[in-house]
Structures are given as structure tokens and as C-alpha cells.
């Protein structure tokens, strides 16, 4: 990359031709050429340099999407980065690219519930078997490997329960058995963790979240190494999973302040976490407790923590937990996260998917908090007022 992460984000992709700090939005379905010879020349260039931004049709992208791909590939330290219309589109593209009927995949138990629906139910219809492993007991992963295993799919930390894993050990197991690996790295982004550099074959980020940062765009990225590039490229062509130029522009603009925002999210979350860790009947699901396994695994692989955390609340009264969430006045109530604003959601057990290793007792309830960019003292005061509704 040359310069630091922070400097790179501020100075990359300036458009001196149009004299604009940010590259312009280029929309196109037909890519126009002066002659058939020019079309053939472009096709030859695309074959020789498949990541070089040589387009013959709008579904392949425009200069706007290509610039975002180049930026993200630099950040991820990957061979190439594919762009999809949603974060989940990147999950689908990763799995679809490397699995076929008769294959098996091994999946982290606490994955995003739509990812579980895809792997546990949908893939079954195509004769692709999914086996789920316990993130805190990697022997359950090793024991699940067969000659049919083609992919290990990781989400780190785990969705809603924030289980951190020994990523290096997973990569070692995969390489020993010649199995491909993919990780959903939306929580950390390549600002805090670089999966391709660590040894993963594919790295997924929902660009809807921190990349955009303003809760007004959807998109996904799938960074890959050279080993799987052709498989993913072929699958992208046949599925037509492509991000539009307007969304690509907004994500590029959001990336300019990714470091500034994530640093603030991290500092705010740390202060809120310190407050919440002292509350009786609440177990904080965030890497703060230094003697815990989760903290050690986070510290081993990450350079920082983002603003998303969970609360495991012990209460005999579910309605009181919902009242607590409803009375958080500075926290919006809605799905997604990663924007500038704080959010709070009560998470029913059914929303976690049919997990095999979820340890949640009858009187324990999950609440997810996204700590935004507000003044943390205001957020703490807001939580303090709402806590009186917990019974």
C-alpha cells in the first residue's frame, strides 16, 4: 500500500481528468466502441488482465465500480475484490463459487441467521451438506472433515453472541486437509483484521455497514486470493451479482472516513462496555474481560474492536427486557448496523437460527447494541435511565 491505511483512504482515486476529489459516477448498460476491432481489442485485454477494469458490457461494471474494487483490494491485501448488491450477496457468491452437488461444507455455528438458512436448508435441496461446528471447541470442526469437505465457512465474531475463534488454528486445519476457507469479516473490516493476509481464501464484508457508514446504501464485497479468483469470476458472470455505480460511489465516499469513524466507534463502545460490565444480571458480549477466551482470541488477531456488542440479560420477565430496549431514546430500533447512529434490538432465540451450540437458558435474553458516534456520556445516561425497566 505504501502509505498508511489512514493516508491511503484520503488520497486514493482522485480524478484529475475531471478535476474532482472523488471519482464521478459512470452509468452504463451499453459500453460504446468505435468499431468491432475495438471491441475485440478490449476482449483480448480483459483476458490478459482480468482484474484490470476492461469492460465490454455494463453488467461487468464501469470505472466507478472498478475504482472501488481497486481500493478494497488494497485494503484487504487481496488479489481481487468482487462487488455484490448486498452483503449477503457476497456470502452467497463465496459459497456458490466453490461448492457443487455432493460436496460438504463446515460452518461456524453462530453465523448470521440468513447464512444458516442458506447453508442448512437451501443447499440441502442441491445435495450440498452443511455441518456446524462449536467455535470454542475446534475438535468439532476437525471431526467433521471428510473427503467431500470443500469449504470451511467462518463468521468472526459470531452473530449476536460474539464468539471469537482461534482463526490461525482454523486456517492450519484447512490447509492441512486442502480445504478452502471463507470468513465473514463485517464486524472487524480490514481496518482491524486482514483475513487474506492471515491465510483465508475469501473475505466477506457487508459494505452496507461500516464501509458506507451512513445507513443509506447496500452492498457487499468478496475479496479473494489468486487460488479461487477464476472460480469466483465464473460464478459472478453466471449469477449477474453486480453492484451498481451509484452505490459504489457512495461506498467509496464513505470509505474516506472509515478509519476516523471506526476509531470513534471503538472508543465509544469501550466506554459503554465499561459501564455495562458493572451492571448486575447483564453479561456483556464484547472483548473486554482480559482473562476470557474471547478476549484472548480477539487480542491475538485484531488491532481493534468495532461498535457492535451484545448483552445477555438474566430476567424472568421477557417484557421487561423489551421495555428496557423500547426506552432507550438515543438508540434507534431497526435492523442492520455500522452507521453513525446507535441502535438497539431485542433478539428472540428463533432469530439466531437453529443453533447446535447456543447456551441460552430460559431466563436469559439477548439484546444487541450498536454504539454509534454520539457523545458516549449521553449514551450511558440513556442506558442508565432505561435500566430501571429491567425486572
pLDDT below 50 — which residues of the chain? Answer: none
Which positions ≥6 away from 142 have C-beta within 8 Å? 173
Q: What are the grid coordinates assigned to 142, written together?
A: 476437525
CATH of the domain at 210: 3.40.640.10
Q: How far apart are the C-alpha atoms of 134 and 151, rounded to whole Å?
A: 16
152/278 same-domain check: no
Q: Are 155 and 110 in contact (CB under 8 A)?
A: yes
**Segments forming the whole domain that contains residue 135:** 5-255
Give the model's pLDDT for residue 1.
Answer: 59
Q: How far apart are the C-alpha atoms of 297 and 302, rounded to whole Å?
A: 8
Give the model's pLDDT for residue 21.
Answer: 81
Q: Burial code of 135-151, b = ≥16 C-beta within 10 A, e = fewer?
A: bbebebbeebbeeebbb
200/283 same-domain check: no
* 157, 183, 202, 350 from 146: Cα distances, Å: 26, 20, 21, 30
Q: Burial code of 294-303, b = ≥16 C-beta within 10 A, e = fewer?
A: bbebbeebbe
Among 255, 280, 300, identify where a domain stops.
Answer: 255
Q: How far apart are the C-alpha atoms of 150 and 278, rounded to whole Å?
A: 44
Q: What are the grid coordinates assigned to 308, written together?
A: 457492535
Give the model's pLDDT for residue 201.
Answer: 98
Give the model's pLDDT for residue 52.
Answer: 86
282/359 same-domain check: yes
Q: Which of 298, 305, 347 is CA-nearest to residue 322?
A: 347
Among 255, 281, 314, identify where a domain stops.
Answer: 255
Give the model's pLDDT for residue 10.
Answer: 86
Look up cell 469492460; give the residue. Answer: 55
Total domain count, the chain: 2
279/201 same-domain check: no
Give the model's pLDDT for residue 23.
Answer: 86
Q: For 384, phi and psi rounded to 5 degrees? A: -60, -40
- DSSP alpha helix (H) spans, 240-301: 245-255, 258-276, 293-301
Among 239, 255, 271, identify where a domain stops.
Answer: 255
250/288 same-domain check: no
322/385 same-domain check: yes
Q: How far apart are the C-alpha atoms of 157 and 184, rounded to whole Å?
A: 9
Q: What are the grid coordinates assigned to 384, written together?
A: 442508565
Query: How many residues in the chain?
Result: 391
298/369 same-domain check: yes
CATH of the domain at 278: 3.90.1150.10
181/262 same-domain check: no
Instruction: Say what the pTM is.
Output: 0.94
240/98 same-domain check: yes
293-301 and 167-176 are packed helices; what angle lies between their axes, rounded to 10 degrees?
70
Q: Are 167 and 185 in contact (CB under 8 A)?
A: no
80/101 same-domain check: yes
pLDDT digits (tens, 9 = 90+) for 244-281: 999 999 999 999 999 999 999 999 999 999 999 999 99
141/14 same-domain check: yes
Which positions ≥6 away from 147 have C-beta within 8 Å? none
Dihedral (CA of 160, 161, 165, 170) sign? negative
Q: Give the burial class of 198: count Cβ atoms within 10 A of its Cβ; 0-12 exposed, 13-18 middle, 19 or more buried.
A: middle
Give the model's pLDDT for residue 362.
Answer: 85
Q: Are 223 and 196 in contact (CB under 8 A)?
A: yes
pLDDT digits (tens, 9 = 90+) for 75-89: 999 999 999 999 999
Q: How far apart are the C-alpha atoms of 50 and 157, rounded to whole Å?
A: 33
Q: Are 372 and 268 in contact (CB under 8 A)?
A: yes
Q: What are the grid coordinates assigned to 214, written together?
A: 451512513
Give the model's pLDDT for residue 13.
Answer: 77
264/205 same-domain check: no
Amino acid at each position: 500500500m505504501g502509505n498508511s491505511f489512514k493516508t491511503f483512504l484520503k488520497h486514493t482515486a482522485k480524478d484529475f481528468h475531471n478535476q474532482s476529489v472523488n471519482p464521478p459516477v459512470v452509468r452504463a448498460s451499453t459500453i460504446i466502441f468505435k468499431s468491432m476491432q475495438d471491441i475485440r481489442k478490449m476482449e483480448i485485454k480483459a483476458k490478459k488482465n482480468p482484474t484490470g477494469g476492461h469492460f465490454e458490457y455494463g453488467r461487468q461494471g464501469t470505472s466507478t465500480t472498478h475504482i472501488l474494487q481497486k481500493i478494497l483490494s488494497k485494503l484487504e491485501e487481496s488479489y481481487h475484490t468482487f462487488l455484490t448488491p448486498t452483503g449477503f450477496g457476497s456470502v452467497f457468491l463465496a459459497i456458490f463459487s466453490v461448492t457443487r452437488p455432493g460436496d460438504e461444507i463446515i460452518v461456524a455455528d453462530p453465523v448470521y441467521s440468513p447464512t444458516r438458512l442458506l447453508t442448512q436448508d437451501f443447499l440441502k435441496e442441491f445435495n450440498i451438506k452443511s455441518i456446524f461446528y462449536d467455535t470454542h471447541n475446534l475438535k468439532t470442526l476437525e471431526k467433521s472433515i471428510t473427503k467431500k469437505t470443500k469449504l470451511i465457512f467462518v463468521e468472526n465474531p459470531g452473530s449476536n453472541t460474539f464468539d471469537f475463534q482461534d482463526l490461525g488454528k482454523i486456517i492450519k486445519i484447512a490447509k492441512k486437509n486442502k480445504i478452502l476457507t471463507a470468513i465473514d469479516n463485517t464486524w472487524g473490516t480490514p481496518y482491524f483484521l486482514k483475513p487474506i493476509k492471515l491465510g483465508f481464501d475469501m473475505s466477506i464484508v457487508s459494505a452496507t455497514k461500516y464501509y458506507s457508514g451512513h445507513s443509506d446504501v447496500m452492498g457487499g464485497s468478496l475479496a479473494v486470493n489468486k487460488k479461487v479468483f477464476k472460480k469466483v469470476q465464473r460464478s459472478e458472470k453466471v449469477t449477474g451479482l453486480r453492484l451498481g455505480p451509484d452505490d459504489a460511489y457512495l461506498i467509496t465516499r464513505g470509505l474516506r472516513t472509515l478509519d476516523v469513524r471506526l476509531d470513534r466507534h471503538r472508543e465509544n463502545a469501550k466506554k459503554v462496555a465499561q459501564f455495562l460490565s458493572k451492571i448486575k444480571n447483564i453479561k456483556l458480549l464484547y472483548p473486554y474481560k482480559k482473562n476470557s477466551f474471547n478476549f484472548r482470541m480477539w487480542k491475538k488477531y485484531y488491532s481493534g474492536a468495532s461498535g457492535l456488542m451484545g448483552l445477555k440479560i438474566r430476567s424472568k420477565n421477557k417484557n421487561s427486557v423489551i421495555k428496557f430496549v423500547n426506552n432507550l431514546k438515543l438508540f434507534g430500533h431497526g435492523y442492520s448496523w455500522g452507521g453513525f447512529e446507535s441502535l438497539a434490538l431485542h433478539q428472540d432465540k428463533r432469530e439466531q437460527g437453529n443453533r447446535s451450540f447456543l447456551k441460552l437458558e430460559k431466563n436469559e435474553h439477548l439484546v444487541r447494541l450498536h454504539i454509534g458516534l454520539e457523545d458516549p456520556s449521553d449514551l450511558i445516561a440513556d442506558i442508565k435511565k432505561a435500566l430501571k425497566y429491567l425486572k
